[in-house]
Chains A and B, each alone.
Chain A
Amino acid sequence: MRQLFNQLISFPYFFKIAQISFPYLFLLSILVILLGVLWGVFFSPVDVTQGEVYRIIYLHVPAASVAQSIYYTMVIASITYLIWRIKMASVFMISMAPLGAIFTFLALFTGAVWGQPTWGTWWVWDARLTSTLILLILYLAIISLFSSFDRRASTDQAVSIVVLIGGINLPIIKLSVEWWNTLHQSASITLSGSSIDNEMLIPLLISIFGFYLYVTAIGMRKMQVEILKREISHNWVKEIFIEKR
Chain B
Amino acid sequence: MKSFYFKTFQRDSKVYLSRSSSFLGPIVFFLITITLYPLAFGSDEEKLAELSAGIIWISILLANLLSHQFIFNEDFKDGSLDLVLASGKSLFLWASIKIFVNWYFSSLPLIFLSLLTSFMLYLPFDAALILALTLFLGTPILSMFGALAGALTLERGNIVGSSIVIPMCLPALILGILAIQSYKNEELFFYIFLLAAFLFFSIPILIASCLGAIRLHFE
Chain A positions within 8 Å of B, measured between CB atoms, are 82, 134, 137-138, 140-141, 144-145, 148-150, 153-154, 157-158, 161-162, 164-166, 168-169, 172-173, 175-177, 179-180
What 4 A-B pairs are tightest by C-beta distance, nearest first?
Answer: A141-B163, A176-B171, A157-B216, A176-B174
Question: Can you give 13 A-B contacts (C-beta < 8 A)?
Answer: A140-B163, A141-B160, A148-B160, A153-B216, A153-B219, A157-B212, A158-B152, A161-B212, A161-B213, A162-B152, A165-B148, A177-B174, A179-B178
Inter-subunit contact A173/B156 (CB<8 Å): no
Complex interface: chain B residues within 8 A of A168 (CB): 205
Nearest opposing residue in chain B for A174, CB measure: B171
Interchain CB contact (< 8 A) of A158 among B178, B205, B206, B213: B213
In whole angstroms, how far apart are the Cα atoms of A190 and B153 in the complex? 41
Closest Cβ of chain B to A43, distance in Å, is 41
Contact of B159 among A148, A164, A172 (CB under 8 A): A148
Q: Does B79 contact A (CB under 8 A)?
A: no
B73 to chain A, nearest CB (A): 14
| B50 CB within 8 Å of chain A | no
Label chain B's interface by main secondary structure.
Answer: helix
* Contact with A165, one of B153, B170, B175, B209 (Cβ below 8 angstroms): B209
B145-158 to A contact mask, C-beta < 8 Å, 1/0: 00010001101100
- Give chain B residues whose Cβ lies under 8 Å from the Cβ of A169: 168, 171
Asked if B198 is at the interface of the complex by the 8 Å CB criterion, the answer is: yes
- Return A172 CB to nearest CB of chain B, in Å: 5
Q: Which residue of B lies closest to A168 (CB)?
A: B205
Q: Which residues of B contact A140 (CB under 8 A)?
A: 163
Interface residues of B (CB under 8 A from A): 148, 152-153, 155-156, 159-160, 163-164, 167-168, 170-171, 174-175, 178, 198, 205-206, 209, 212-213, 216-217, 219
Contacts of B216 in A (CB 8 A): 153-154, 157-158
Least CB distance from A174 to B in Å reads 9
Which A residue sits closest to B213, measured CB to CB? A161
Inter-chain contact B167/A137, CB cutoff 8 Å: yes
Contacts of B160 in A (CB 8 A): 141, 144-145, 148
B-chain residues with CB within 8 Å of residue A166 when the two chains form the complex = 167-168
CA A47 – CA B198 in complex, angstroms? 42
Once A141-B167, A172-B198 are accepted as A-B contacts, the answer to whether A165 and B152 lie under 8 Å apart by CB is: no
CA distance A145 to B155 in the complex (A): 13
Query: Which residues from B are CB-within-8-Å of A180?
Result: 174, 178
Minimum Cβ distance to chain A for residue B206 (Å): 7
Among candidates B164, B174, B175, B205, residue contacting A162 with C-beta atoms closer than 8 Å: B164
Bound Cα distance from A157 to B151, whole angstroms: 12
Separation in Å of the A148 CB from the closest CB of chain B? 5
What residues on A are CB-neighbors of B212 within 8 Å?
82, 157, 161
